[in-house]
Chain A
């Protein structure tokens, strides 16, 4: 069964609004989680590393004030897309490393900004 969940699975929002996406590890604790974005027919692009109890580490070119990450507990990380624009429309996926550093992925959230 799934070991990482994401909510919501899809969301449509208006330009200028904010959207929060949750990522949960279901039967294990994750001090680190990763957030990715994937555009159609492209690979996953790592956006940031979410660290429980400390600030997230963002990849070069990712605006930390636009993509707010909060790792509130050992099983929950949230990504908030602030002041969303149509170009933010994408597939957002989270993952958490479990055993042997393998990543377990959430099912993804499809965001459409109109």
Chain B
């Protein structure tokens, strides 16, 4: 089993739609979780950290389910500019070492 698994998609949605991505992780000792966004041929940029209590930033909501070992990202009212690859990142238990999922591709169309 891979350390971090994501559905690669692509998720093809119309503008204004709500879309959700899930990511599962295998190391139960992991404590830090993040969602990054990567545009084509660019470096990843932090979208949001994922806290135990869940967190929201505008149209984006991230949640953590430790019992089932998954994190989720919900995007509401999708914009064309949301089209990108969304990377799930889980730090290895007790360390700063990040482990990346393969990314989920989102395409928002008019």
Contacts and interface: CB of A to CB of B under 8 A. Distances in A.
Interface of B: 32, 34, 36, 41-46, 49, 87, 89, 91, 96-103
A102 interface: yes
5 contacts: A101-B32, A102-B34, A102-B49, A103-B34, A105-B45
Chain A at the B interface: SS class: strand
Contact of B91 (A45, A101, A106): A101
Interface in A61-96: 91, 93, 95
Given A43-B103, A46-B99, 19 more contacts: A32-B96, A36-B100, A43-B87, A43-B101, A44-B44, A44-B100, A97-B96, A101-B32, A101-B91, A102-B46, A102-B49, A103-B34, A103-B46, A104-B46, A105-B43, A105-B44, A107-B42, A107-B43, A110-B41
A108 B43 contact: yes
A93 B36 CA distance: 14
Contacts, number: 48
B100 A34 contact: no
A49 interface: yes
Given A101-B32, A101-B91, A103-B89, A43 B100 contact: yes
Contacts of B100: 36, 43-46
Contact of A103 (B42, B98, B101): B98
A49 B97 CA distance: 8
A42 interface: yes
Contacts of A102: 34, 46, 49
